Amino acid sequence: MPLQDLPAGHEFPPESLIISEMEAAAYAAAVGDTSVETSERVPSVAVVAAGLSRFIKHLGLADGTVEVVHASQEISFDRPVTPGETLEIRATLKSNAERRGSRFATVEMIFVDGTGEQVASASSLILVNAT
């Protein structure tokens, strides 16, 4: 469903997310991050980046028909994520409004592990403009 048709409070179906050791290493190499041993730990922000990319795609915002700008970001980390670990993303559209011709949407994501414990959470404000 297009973003403009989704009400604030809409809950997306839960999604599985696994970041392999190879994907963690590719992410670290891309951002130039040598602060983390990616065979042991996924770079902290990689989890949030992967989740956000998915929901931008699900909302039909990644196909070039609109301009998407990332306006703000909040993140909390509860514990490090291990490569290959299965997480579940529980995402909610917290706000969705049009102002002065731009659409402002906030996606909140909670990442939980196989036991249901939260490992991270994030809230992303994106701005969408027609091209």
Partner 1 sequence: MTSQPGDRLNSIDRTVTQAQVEAYADAAEDHNPIHLDADFAAKTPFGRRIAHGMLTLALVSEMLTSAYPNNWASGGRLKVRFRAPVFPGETVHVIGEVKKVTESDGVRLAEITVGVKKDDGEDVITGQAFVKLD
Count CB-CB contacts under 10 A for residue 128: 20
| Minimum CB distance to partner 1 smaller for 6 or for 36 | 36
Q: How far is the CB of 116 from partner 1 (least distance, A)?
A: 18
| Minimum CB distance to partner 1 smaller for 7 or for 65 | 65
β-pair partners for 16:
88
Torsion of CA 47, 48, 50, 53, to 10 degrees: 180
| Minimum CB distance to partner 1 smaller for 2 or for 7 | 2
Residue with tokens 């999604």: 15
Q: Which residues bind partner 1 (CB under 8 A)?
A: 23, 26-27, 29-33, 35-36, 41, 43-46, 48-50, 52-54, 56-57, 61-62, 64, 67-80, 131
Q: How far is the CB of 30 from partner 1 (least distance, A)?
A: 4
DSSP tally for the chain: helices H, then strands E: 2, 5
Q: How far is the CB of 28 from partner 1 (least distance, A)?
A: 8
Q: How far is the CB of 112 from partner 1 (least distance, A)?
A: 16
Strand ranges (DSSP E) for 1-131?
Answer: 15-18, 66-77, 86-99, 102-112, 118-130
